[in-house]
Structure 1
């Protein structure tokens, strides 16, 4: 086998499905030898969609409203055939909760939110995105949950205020959710002073929990892939 063929085989071994949660450019920096694919839709993870089954799949983003979403059955078949599947940040976190007892690995805060039933609705992780580049046009509710929890830690918000704000935010259609909408809700409920404190916090605190979870999942995927490769060499 020549070096080019070895590189192609390596690319087949680690698949990452990402989009608005973490850009392909950043993903490429983190995993330069992985096969990086756009958000998964129904059928993308079916066994017959692969020429060669990968060792590890990191499922981050998936299409939830544009097309039928990737199904649990597709992932179950991969797990049954020895593929390691990691989920985080978005549809990956949701599927990881559903399939955790069958071997799918969940990573990150968003996964924990769904596992604990703090978050139930799928639309809390959804972002409007460019159909070609997957660049996000809106912000997900789970990011704002993370931001407001930090506000609670700093004494700006109470738990009751958090719950009321999130209830109001969930009334906004997912594609319209952004920081300005959140600030308007806080301003309406609790006044300009509290809104200004949240705005300042948003500019000084990294609340992009989906992207942080995606990076953790990729790191986990790389570690597991390397372990598989070492076992094969030995």
Structure 2
């Protein structure tokens, strides 16, 4: 059994998920533990809840890996956990994971965004910084932005609280006093928006689909420590 935890990063995933993969919503504490106990062979972690609920524990991921489960991560919570657990065998997928693994990106909130509930198809209410930066890089490479515009917009995006970050607020807070039309600039960003989280998530789905649907031998390099705290959640 292969499962992928995903929500706002791929709100339309039900329409194209590869055969043999079960889709579950964003993960929270105990979801990976429960999946392992249900006999899963492969786990893909993309989205996870945080802030008002307990997020996925690193210990759950280590338990899955120690049980021979293949665990992949990308895009959002998955990219974070993959970078943090790579030394133990979790596999990161995509550009955002690579940015965290290399230290280019360090803040958890760089992938965070607010969105509506599943009933509203996870309607996006903010823009994650990783997507904004990908968009700015794309426009700079196309020479649609000048260096000073790029620098000002990047500084604005990086300075905003993740819940307040939209293309409108990025433009509104940019230090561009001489810019003739902020509305045109906002339209330029929206029209050329790069959804890097989505691109990485699609890559993860392809990776999960190609993975063997069987558990692998337990790692020999380390032993899972079943602590008293861990045993309380079993």
Q: TM-score, normalised by structure 2?
A: 0.80
State which drifts further: 181-190 or 59-68. Answer: 181-190
Counterpart in the other structure of 2:77: 91
Residues of 2 paired with 1:192 and 1:32: CA distance?
A: 51
Residues of 1 paired with 2:188 and 2:58: CA distance?
A: 40
Shift in Å, 1:195 = 6.9
Q: Do the aligned partners of 2:168 and 2:186 also contact (CA within 8 Å) in 1? A: no
Residues of 2 paired with 1:192 and 1:64: CA distance?
A: 40
**What SS does structure 2 have at the residue aligned with 1:30?**
coil
What's the C-alpha RMSD, in Å, of the aligned pairs? Answer: 2.4
Structure 1 pair 194–130 and aligned structure 2 pair: CA distance change class (3 A): closer
| 1:90-112 C-alpha deviation (Å, 9 max, x unpaired) | 01000101111211110111111
Shift in Å, 1:172 = 2.1
Q: Would you tell me which structure has more helix in proportion to its own residues?
A: 1
Shift in Å, 1:123 = 0.9
Shift in Å, 1:114 = 1.0
Higher relative contact order (CA 8 A, sep 6+): 2
| 1:63-88 C-alpha deviation (Å, 9 max, x unpaired) | 12121210111101101101001100
The one of 137, 157, 173 equivalent to 1:149 is: 137
Structure 1 pair 217–192 and aligned structure 2 pair: CA distance change class (3 A): farther
**What SS does structure 1 have at the residue aligned with 2:26?**
coil
The one of 171, 194, 204 equivalent to 2:159 is: 171
Q: TM-score, normalised by structure 1?
A: 0.80
State which drifts further: 160-169 or 105-114. Answer: 160-169
Residues of 1 paired with 2:125 and 2:31: CA distance?
A: 24
Counterpart in the other structure of 1:43: 30
Q: Do the aligned partners of 1:41 and 1:63 also contact (CA within 8 Å) in 2? A: yes
Count matched residues. 212
Residues of 1 paired with 2:36 and 2:65: CA distance?
A: 14
